[in-house]
Amino acid sequence: MGKPYAIWTDRVESEVVRRTAHVGNWRQRLRARATHRPMFALEKHLIRRSSLGLFHGKETYDTYAPYCRNPQIVHDIHIPKSDHIDAQALDEKLASLVKDPLKIAYVGRADAMKGSLDWITVIKNLAAADMDFQASWLGDGPDLEEMRAQVTEAGLQDRVKLPGFTDDRSEVLKCLRDAHIVMFCHKTPESPRSLIEALASAAPIVGYEGAFARDLISAEGGGLLSGMGDTAELARNIMTLDNDRQKLAQLAREAAVAGSTYDEETVFEHRCELIRRYL
């Protein structure tokens, strides 16, 4: 018998490969189609032999828990308590939220697994419905130039900002605190930290259904989810919130409460305790 070990993962890597197998050149597509099944078999092999499974978020947990003798949900985030929105900033946000054009934001990599082109489709649907909004996506990636091209083609350069990557933490925090909603179109089973950061900034998470997002808002609220890949439903949900600012304000209050339990000290203390207890 070998030494007991814990296994940690923050996304279902084999499923990410499968769902993005249409991306890239023909060699990359062929490799993805050929490897995702062996990858899942190897993932299960390692998990079955582990003494402890540390699975970041509900999406990852739901996939791997059946193969693990001791599965645990953990969170891998790097948000100090000082980055959580305070009462004064929340009041200022609520004041803006009830009267200003809707501010939509997202922070993350511009690629297929994040649904970046779906995000642009929703933005164009909102513009076609004559909704007043401002939108921004912070992040670089292979889809960024196509996103910019579609924004230019639609004539939305004055309403949609795609500045690319930033390593300025204060800029990211300001983007989330200014946002009335964080719109996301994630297409793979992962546990995006940006959704937790959004809640900690009192920005309701509005996007595609998924176990991770659903779990984050299951207790306190703070979001509104639509069917996976349904850009039309997502656009309708956003327009509904735009027309009901009191409902949106309530979601922002709920988001602040939902996000208050997530900070780096608490989540890493929880993980350390699990390792001490079971290994």
Q: Which of the listed CATH numbers 3.40.50.2000, 3.30.450.40, 3.10.310.40, 3.40.50.300 matches domain 81-259? A: 3.40.50.2000
Q: Are strands 181-184 and 102-107 parallel, antiparallel or unpaired?
A: parallel
Segments making up each domain of the chain, as ranges: 6-77+263-278, 81-259
Determine the number of helices (DSSP H) and then strands (DSSP E) in the chain: 12, 9
Percent of the chain with pLDDT over 70: 100
DSSP state of 101: P
Answer whether 146's CB lies under 8 Å from 219's CB.
no
Per-residue confidence band for 23, with pLDDT thresholds at 50, 70 and 90: confident
> What's the confidence (pLDDT) of residue 22?
87
pLDDT above 60: residue 85: yes
Per-residue confidence band for 16, with pLDDT thresholds at 50, 70 and 90: confident
Task: Categorise residue 108: left if φ over 0, alpha if ψ from -120 to 50, beta otherwise.
Answer: left
Which of 263, 201, 256 minimizes the C-alpha distance to 77? 263
Per-residue confidence band for 2, with pLDDT thresholds at 50, 70 and 90: confident
For the chain, the average pLDDT equals 96
Specify the pTM.
0.92
Residue partners of 172: CB distance under 8 A and separation at least 6: 107, 138, 166, 197
Q: Which single residue is written with the structure tokens 């290994």?
A: 279
pLDDT above 80: residue 1: no
Which of 174, 173, 261, 195 minimizes the C-alpha distance to 59? 195
Rounded to 5 degrees, φ, ψ at 53 are: -110, 120
As a whole number, mean pLDDT of residues 57-85 equals: 95
Answer whether 65's CB lies under 8 Å from 262's CB.
no
3-state SS, 203-247, equals CCEEEECCHHHHHHHCCCCCEEEECCCCHHHHHHHHHHHHHCHHH
Per-residue confidence band for 192, with pLDDT thresholds at 50, 70 and 90: very high
pLDDT above 80: residue 140: yes
Q: Cα separations (Å) of 278 from 2, 46, 175, 198?
A: 15, 17, 40, 32
As a whole number, mean pLDDT of residues 117-136 equals: 99
Per-residue confidence band for 174, with pLDDT thresholds at 50, 70 and 90: very high
> What's the confidence (pLDDT) of residue 227?
98
pLDDT above 70: residue 168: yes
